[in-house]
Structures are given as C-alpha cells and as structure tokens.
Amino acid sequence: MVRLAILDEAINSQLQENPDGLGEVEVVFAGKDLPSLRRKGALSANAVVVDLNLLGEDPARELDTIVDQCGAEMALVLYQYAKRDLITRLSEGKSRALKVPVHLGGLRMHLLGLLVRDIFNANAPQGARA
C-alpha cells in the first residue's frame, strides 16, 4: 500500500470531507505545521505532500529533511506564488512543485507511478518484487 504524509491544510480539509478521496492510499500523517511532523519522528511514507509556505527560510533544505525523515521516494510541494528559480529547484530529483489548488483526484494522479508499482508488487511472485 502507498503511504502518504501530508503537511497541508487544504488537502487535509478535503480528506475530512471525502475520506476515500485518495482510494488505496494510506495517510500516515496529516498535519498543518512542521513542528508536529518533527515530533512524529520517523515515518515510512512513500510520498510527502507539503505546503511551500511551511518550509521556512530555506525550503529546499527543509524539504530534503522532511523527505529523509519520512523515508519518502517522492515529494510534492504545493505553492500559490513562488519565484521561478525556487520552483525549478523544488522540482529536481525526488520532488515536484504543483500550483494550487490541487484536488484529491489530481493528487492521486501524481501518485500514479507509486500506485502502479504497488499493484505490480502485490501481484508479483515473492522473488520477483521490485
């Protein structure tokens, strides 16, 4: 199962209204402030969704810290307004920058690669898993 950590008020609100909106994605953390995520400690999340405004003075470094803490393979950074060079930096490697609003269906589409791999791994013979 794909595990997701969410640090964004709007996505959390959507999940409260529609708890099944992400389908087979398990939400392992849903908060709206960085200190609560830090207190949670190590999470085994496949992906994290983070509001850019919560990443502080050095968003790229803070994002790396969050990804490491969660053990995530992917990070989705949600922004409303940001400088192009920051968006470019946040869209490198494991992360993607997404302009808000992002709805649960759109978020699920960005997780599609992880979801497909999870389905194949669940159906693969024991020795053939990726």
Of 10-19, 84-93, 106-115, 119-128, the one with minimum mean pLDDT is: 119-128
Q: Does domain 2-128 sit in CATH 3.40.109.10?
A: no
Contact 97, 77 (CB under 8 A): yes
Which residues, in sequence order, are CB contacts of 35 under 8 Å at separation 6+?
Answer: none
Residue 124: pLDDT band with limits 50, 70, 90: confident
pLDDT value for 41: 76
What digits encode the pLDDT tens for the residues 25-66? 999 999 988 998 888 877 899 999 999 999 999 999 999 999
pLDDT score at 107: 96
